[in-house]
Every structure is written in C-alpha cells, then in structure tokens.
C-alpha cells in the first residue's frame, strides 16, 4: 500500500494530517468510502455467514457431538461391564459361601458319626473291662475266703507243735483248736 | 515523519457500479474477502478429517466453536428457568450461534490481519463497524418484535420503578437502546483506529531519532521498546474487541428474547 494510485490519494499521502483533514476528509470517516465498504461488507459477511452456518459450523458441531456420544457410549459400556463384574463377584461369593456351609455340614456330620462310633467302642470296651474286673474280684474274694479258712488250721497245728515242743506232750490239733 | 493516517487510506482497486451505488472493490473489500477465504478455508479444511481424536488444527477449530458456544450459552441461556419459559425455549437461543460466531471470527480475523505490517485494517473504518452494529441492531428489533410482539416494549419499562419517575426512566431506556449501535460500533472502530495510530506514531519517533543521529539515535530505544509493548497490547486489544463485540451482540439478542428485566 506504499505507492499511490491516483492524484487524490497522492494529496492525502503527502499532506500533513491536519491538512488532509480538510482536504479529502479523514479516510475512516469519509462518506465517500461508506457505500463501497458497506456493500462489500454485506457481500463478504453474507458469504461468510452462509459458509459457516451451512457447512463449517454444523460439521464441527457434529464432530463434537459424535465425540461426546462416543465417550458417553464408552462410559455406559464400562458401567455395564462393571455391574456385570460385580454380579459375577457376588455370584462367586455366594457359591463360595454355599460350598463353605456345605463343607461345614459334611465335616460336622462326619465328626458326629465318628464321635458316636468312638463312644460305642468305648462303651463296649468299658463293659468288657468291667466284666473282667468283676470276674477278677470274684476270684480274689474266693481266694481270700480260702485263705482265711486255712488260717485257723495252720494256727492250731502251729499251736500243737509249739505245745509239744514246750511240754513234750502231744496235743492233737483238734484239741489245740478247741483251746484257741 | 510518516503520516499515521496514511495506513487508513481506501484504495480503489476495481471501480464498480451497482444500481447507481458506488460498489468499488477497495483494499478494505479485499481484506474482508481475504478474511472470508481464510476463515472458511481454515474451518472447513481443519475439519476435513472429522477425527474423534482431533489434530492440532481441528482442536483449534473446535476450541473456537466451544468458546463462542459457551459465550452464547452463558449470556443467553440463563433465563430459561426463571421466567417460566417452556422447555422448548431452552435451546432456542442456539439458532443465533452461527450469527454470533460469524461476527466474532470475522472481526477477530480482520483485527489480526491488521496487525500484520503493511496490511489494511477493515475494522478501523466506521462504515464496517457501523454496518456490523446495525446488523445486530436490526436483528434485535426484528427478533424482539417477532417473538414478543408489543411485549418487546417491556424492555423500556423496568419493573419496580415508582410511577412518578417512570416517564424519565423510560425515556432514558429508549435513548440508551437507540444509542447502542453507536457505542457498539464506535468502541471497536476507535480502539482499532487509536491503536494503529499510536503504533505508527511511536514507529515514526524511532525513525526521527535515528535520522537525527548521534545521541538521539541511542534515545530511539525508548520509542522502540514502547512500540514493542504496544504491539503486544494491540494483539490483546484485537482479540478483546472482537470478544466484546460478540459478547454485546449476545446480550442485545438476549434482550430481544427476554425483554422483561
């Protein structure tokens, strides 16, 4: 924009500002410049508005919308997967708990059965032992009675032997027994 | 010293006549057309892949889209529940999104193109900013009356104002409503104009001081650092003014949709 194109511009270019003021008017406020600028403003602005509102902006809006939808879809999918995972975990924990209670039941049953068997065996052997004890006690009692019975015989014999030794007289065992 | 006004000169490239109107293709028109080509080219080309995982360019286009969409939602979406509008109205405001987006990206691109040395800044001309502001103003009027009928006039009657000051308040409201396109357009125009003049003036100081030579040449570092800082500021202003223009557009359209204060 350095070189002037006609005489009128040459004037304003070379003149000092205040001189230009009263000569061709200050260009931004010069009414001669209004019509061409307004007409071209109308043309260019209308063209730009048409291009943007019909082509550019809907396209940008579409892409942004699409991205928002896509992100929302992905988030929804992630949410669905998460709840599915949670359900699977819940199911797993449920079956784990079931298995645990079942195992507990089996263990308790087995324990009870075994305890019962042990009890039975114990009771049997106790009974056997008791019978044997009773038998042994009977034998001891017999032997005691026998022993006690022979004590008086031994005593009288011993006494007659002692007497014979002491006085040289034979005392029959029966007699000794009578004196005892 | 270089003329700081020279950069705003309109150059007539192709003289045209449209039904008696001067429709000359000027450098301003050239840059508006360039902006249209760049914007449409970028937005359409960057989305070519339509990929789910965006490329760098695609995510830039999407960021712009979301930025403006959020602006529209935040300014115009807040009323859907508190004034008893039905569910169907909730997203009705989104049909203005293409308009707000086009205004924002168009002004932003024109402002940014103007930051390239030697390029023309179409938004530094009142005709362009006024044209855009009037477009918004007329849209607000049409939408306001089409949607609310005469209820749109409620916009000028704030609720809860005592009856004896009401005429005054209504007059003020009407004046402020009518002055909207002026402030709307002049804000952008003046910001771009002043910024570019300031840059040019400081750049001129550098050349003058260097031309003076000797100790003056060393002093030229001052306007140079100033011009550098101002360039950064101007980039911020270029973005901010596009944002402010689009934001005000949203607020005015919101008034058209919900005239009750």
Average pLDDT on B236-246 reads: 94
- Percentage of chain B exceeding pLDDT 70: 93
Q: What is the tally of structural domains in chain B?
A: 1
> What count of CB pairs under 8 Å joins A to B?
162
Residue B98 predicted with pLDDT over 70: yes
Average pLDDT on B59-71 reads: 91
| Domain, as residue range, for B34 | 6-257
Residue B261's pLDDT is: 56
- For residues B231 and B210, the answer to whether their CB atoms sit within 8 Å is no
Put simply, the answer to whether A39 touches B23 (Cβ < 8 Å) is yes
B221-257 vs B126-148: helix axis angle to the nearest 10? 20
Put simply, the answer to whether B62 touches A64 (Cβ < 8 Å) is yes
Whole-number average pLDDT of chain B: 85
Label residue A45 left, alpha or beta by phi (over 0 means left) and psi (-120 to 50 means alpha): alpha
Query: Which helix or strand (DSSP H or E) is residue B25 part of?
Result: strand B25-26
Residue A14's pLDDT is: 41
CA distance A49 to chain B (A): 6
To test the contact with chain A by mutation, choose from B35, B98, B107, B118 the residue with the greatest count of A C-beta atoms within 10 A, namely B98
Collect all residues of chain A within an 8 Å Cβ-Cβ radius of residue B11: 1, 5, 9
- In sequence order, what are the residues at sequence separation of 6 or more whose Cβ sits closer than 8 angstroms to the Cβ of residue B98? A49, A52, A53, A57
The model's pLDDT over B136-188, given as tens digits with 9 standing for 90+, comes to 999 999 998 888 888 888 888 888 888 888 888 889 989 999 999 999 999 99
Is residue B34 included in any domain, yes or no?
Answer: yes
Alpha-carbon Rg for chain A in angstroms: 68
Q: Spell out the per-residue pLDDT of chain A, length 180, in tens.
A: 344 444 444 444 444 444 444 456 788 887 788 888 888 899 999 999 999 999 888 888 888 888 889 999 999 999 999 999 999 999 999 999 999 999 999 999 999 999 999 999 999 999 999 999 999 999 999 999 888 888 888 888 888 888 888 887 777 767 766 766
The model's pLDDT over B208-221, given as tens digits with 9 standing for 90+, comes to 888 887 787 888 88
Put simply, the answer to whether A53 touches B102 (Cβ < 8 Å) is yes
**B116 touching chain A per CB within 8 A:** no
Residue B54's pLDDT is: 79
Residue B82's pLDDT is: 43
Rounded Cα gap, residues B117 and B115, in angstroms = 6
Collect all residues of chain B within an 8 Å Cβ-Cβ radius of residue A2: 118
Closest residue in A to B43 (Cα) is A56
The model's pLDDT over B7-57, given as tens digits with 9 standing for 90+, comes to 788 788 877 777 877 878 888 889 999 999 999 999 888 888 777 777 888
Rounded Cα gap, residues A77 and A93, in angstroms = 24
Residue B91's pLDDT is: 62
Closest residue in A to B52 (Cα) is A67
The structural domains of chain A, with segments of one domain joined by +, span 8-179
Which of residues B89 and A49 earns the better pLDDT score?
A49
Rounded Cα gap, residues B104 and B93, in angstroms = 17
Residue A134's pLDDT is: 94
Minimal Cβ distance to A40: which of B32, B97, B99: B32
ipTM: 0.86
Is residue B68 included in any domain, yes or no?
Answer: yes
Closest residue in A to B39 (Cα) is A48
Report the residue count for chain B: 261
Residue B215's pLDDT is: 81
- For residues B126 and A38, the answer to whether their CB atoms sit within 8 Å is no
Is residue B1 included in any domain, yes or no?
Answer: no
Collect all residues of chain B within an 8 Å Cβ-Cβ radius of residue A10: none
Nearest-5° Cα angle at B31, B27 to B32: 115
Which of residues B105 and A167 earns the better pLDDT score?
B105
Interface of B with A in 124-163 (CB under 8 A): 124-128, 131-132, 135
Residue B240 predicted with pLDDT over 70: yes
């Amino acid at each position: 924009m350095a070189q002037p194109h006609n005489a009128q511009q040459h004037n304003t270019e070379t003149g000092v500002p205040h001189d230009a003021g009263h000569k061709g008017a200050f260009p931004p406020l010069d009414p001669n410049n209004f019509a061409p600028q307004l007409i071209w403003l109308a043309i260019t602005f209308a063209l730009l508005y048409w291009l943007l509102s019909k082509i550019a902006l809907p396209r940008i809006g579409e892409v942004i919308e699409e991205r928002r939808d896509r992100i929302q879809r992905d988030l929804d999918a992630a949410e669905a997967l998460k709840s599915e995972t949670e359900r699977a975990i819940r199911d797993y924990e449920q079956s784990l708990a079931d298995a645990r209670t079942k195992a507990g039941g089996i263990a308790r049953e087995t324990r009870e059965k075994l305890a019962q068997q042990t009890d039975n065996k114990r009771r049997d052997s106790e009974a056997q032992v008791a019978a044997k004890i009773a038998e042994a006690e009977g034998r001891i009692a017999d032997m005691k009675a026998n022993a006690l019975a022979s004590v008086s015989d031994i005593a009288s014999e011993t006494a007659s032997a002692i007497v014979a030794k002491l006085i040289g007289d034979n005392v029959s065992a029966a007699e000794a027994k009578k004196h005892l | 010293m270089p003329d700081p006004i020279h950069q705003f000169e309109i150059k007539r490239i192709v003289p045209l006549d449209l039904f008696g109107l001067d429709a000359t293709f000027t450098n301003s028109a050239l840059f508006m057309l360039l902006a249209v080509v760049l914007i449409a080219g970028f937005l359409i080309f960057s989305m070519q892949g339509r990929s789910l995982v965006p490329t760098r360019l695609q995510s830039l286009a999407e960021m712009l889209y979301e930025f403006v969409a959020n602006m529209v939602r935040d300014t115009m979406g807040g009323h859907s529940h508190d004034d008893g509008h039905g569910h169907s109205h909730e997203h009705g405001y989104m049909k203005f999104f293409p308009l707000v987006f086009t205004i924002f990206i168009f002004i932003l691109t024109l402002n940014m193109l103007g930051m390239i040395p030697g390029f023309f800044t179409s938004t530094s001309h009142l005709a362009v900013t006024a044209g855009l502001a009037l477009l918004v103003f007329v849209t607000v009027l049409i939408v306001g009356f089409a949607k609310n009928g005469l209820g749109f006039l409620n916009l000028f009657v704030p609720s809860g104002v005592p009856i004896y000051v009401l005429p005054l308040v209504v007059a003020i409201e009407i004046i402020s409503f009518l002055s909207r396109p002026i402030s709307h357009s002049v804000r952008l125009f003046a910001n771009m104009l002043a910024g570019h003049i300031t840059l040019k003036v400081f750049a001129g100081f550098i050349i003058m001081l260097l031309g003076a030579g000797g100790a003056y040449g060393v002093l030229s570092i001052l306007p140079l650092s100033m011009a550098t800082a101002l360039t950064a500021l101007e980039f911020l202003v270029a973005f901010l003014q596009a944002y402010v223009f689009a934001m005000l557009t949203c607020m005015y359209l919101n008034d058209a949709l919900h005239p009750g204060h």
